[in-house]
Amino acid sequence: MRPTHAKDHPAASPLRPAAAPVAPLPRGAGDGAGRGGAEACSTAGGPFPAGPAEVRLIDADVPGAVGRVLDEALAERLRRARAADPLFARDVAERMTRFTLEGGKRTRAQLAWWASRACAGRDAAVAAGALRIGGALELLQTCALVHDDVMDRATLRRGRPTLHTELASGHEDRVGPERARRFGQSAAVLAGDLALAWADDLVAETPLAVWKGVVVRRLWSDMRTEMVAGQYLDLHGQVTAARQLARVLRAGCLKSALYSVERPLALGAAVAGADDVTLRRLCDAGRCAGMAFQLRDDLDDVFGDPLVTGKACGGDIREGKSTYLVAVARARAEAAGDGTALAVLDRWLGDTALTERGLDEVRDVLVATGARATVETKLDRLAAQGLRHFDRTLLDPEGAAPLRALLLAAAGVGPGRDAASQGRYAPLPRGGAESGR
């Protein structure tokens, strides 16, 4: 996925990668260890389960199992990247690989895994397919995050410098900060493109029955299109200052509800061969939980703790994004004739030089207009509605209970608390499901 505003920037002379060191890859990446087919036994060094007992072992650490699949898949692709060009492999492929392998909680991959377990029990072949799809989802997330950081001009991701910032470092002294910045952004776009290509490879290489393959490929294709469409609506809203609540919710549905929750659920269920009724009910549950996730992410951006969320506060405000939270505040201020509140929003929304004082003023408006409380209430209702859809679905209890807990967590509902009693949104933990970008 190439950002809509990414452009080629002419330069007086080609940039030679001079200095920015590449951090070592996580253990196992790039060494070719553990290669094998989907039939390989995990106890013999491969990442896939050979039987029901090993499927249950994976349940204890799904992110680790997905990481092992990525270790194997990316080691082979890094070997090919080095054969294509060592410089490209070092600067782009290895950085992208490290970003992917050091990912967060792999929530999308976990949703796919537990949906497959809830629909197919301990079937080892289904489990192997779900792990491959989980790895593909992680690579797709790498593409989305790297591109999103370029578009947002973000400097921090997961508590570390963003990929384009890292790529630009070391070049400033030679070509100046502006050309170095453009180089880093352009190279990061290529890194995101590579992640998308490798994600497609993993899906294409997943052994599936013909009819399952048709459903999985259609879901995968739709998810990629929806992700780009949602991102475009987000960009379009920034440049046109679109404020309609329905349009804001549609963008959130495409780029977060579908991409972050519903489609991963559907992919896991499709790998398991779920029937149409089961698939539809899981999708309904996922869409509600995913919309709650987006609303929670909007709240995190303004009210969250960077030490918890892993990213700086106020990014959406600086970029002028018309989130549902801001759209509600504006609509309420207009209805009340609150010119002071509107002036604060007009002053700071879209101001890249947003100060901490300005962010505090925006926070005050979001609270005073009732926007924060309204969004929290809507979030709780969506979470409760999602659980009603889920609880009507006939699933294997062994997989259904963890899947239900994941949906609650995505919606910001703490363990042991139903949505109706959740008075405040739960901040997105560091390394958790990042915003649907």
For residues 371 and 338, give the distance between their C-alpha atoms in angstroms, rounded to a whole number.
14
Q: How many helices (H) and strands (E) does the chain have?
A: 20, 2
**C-alpha–C-alpha distance, residues 309 and 305, integer Å:** 6
What's the pLDDT at 159? 72
The tokens describing 62, both together, are 């799904």
H or E stretch at 19: none
* C-alpha–C-alpha distance, residues 244 and 331, integer Å: 9
Q: Which letter does DSSP use for residue 160 in this model? A: E
Any bridge partners for residue 156, and if so which? 161
Q: What is the pLDDT of residue 178?
A: 84
**What does R_g of the chain's alpha carbons equal in angstroms?**
22
Instruction: Tell me how far apart the alpha carbons of residues 102 and 309 are, in angstroms, rounded to a whole number.
Output: 16
For 230-256, give the DSSP string.
Answer: HHHHHHHHHHHT---HHHHHHHHIIII
Q: Please, where in the chain does CATH 1.10.600.10 lie? A: 209-437
Show Cβ contacts of residue 263 under 8 Å, excluding neighbours closer than 6 positions: 219, 222, 223, 226, 286
Residue from 347, 341, 337 nearest 329 by CA: 341
pLDDT by 10s per residue, the chain, length 437:
333 333 333 333 333 333 334 445 544 444 433 333 333 333 334 789 989 999 999 999 999 999 999 999 999 999 999 999 999 999 999 999 999 999 788 999 999 999 999 999 999 999 999 999 999 999 999 999 999 889 888 787 877 888 898 888 877 777 788 898 999 999 999 999 999 999 999 999 999 999 999 999 999 999 999 999 988 888 887 777 666 788 888 988 998 889 999 999 999 999 999 999 999 999 999 999 999 989 998 999 999 888 777 677 898 899 888 889 999 999 999 999 999 999 999 999 989 899 999 999 999 999 999 999 999 999 999 999 999 999 999 999 999 999 999 999 988 775 544 444 333 333 333 333 444 45
Q: Going by DSSP bridges, is the β-strand pair 156-157/160-161 parallel, antiparallel, or unpaired?
A: antiparallel
Given CATH 1.10.600.10, say whether it is the number of domain 209-437: yes
Contacts of 361 (CB under 8 A, 6+ apart): 344, 347, 348
Q: Determine the pLDDT at residue 242.
A: 65
In CATH, 1-207 is 1.10.600: yes
Bridge partners, 157 (sequence order): 160
Q: What is the token pair recorded at 227?
A: 């992700």
Closest among 69, 206, 49 to 121, alpha carbons compared? 49
In degrees, rounded to 5, the angle at the alpha carbon of residue 99 between the alpha carbons of residues 97 and 100 is: 65
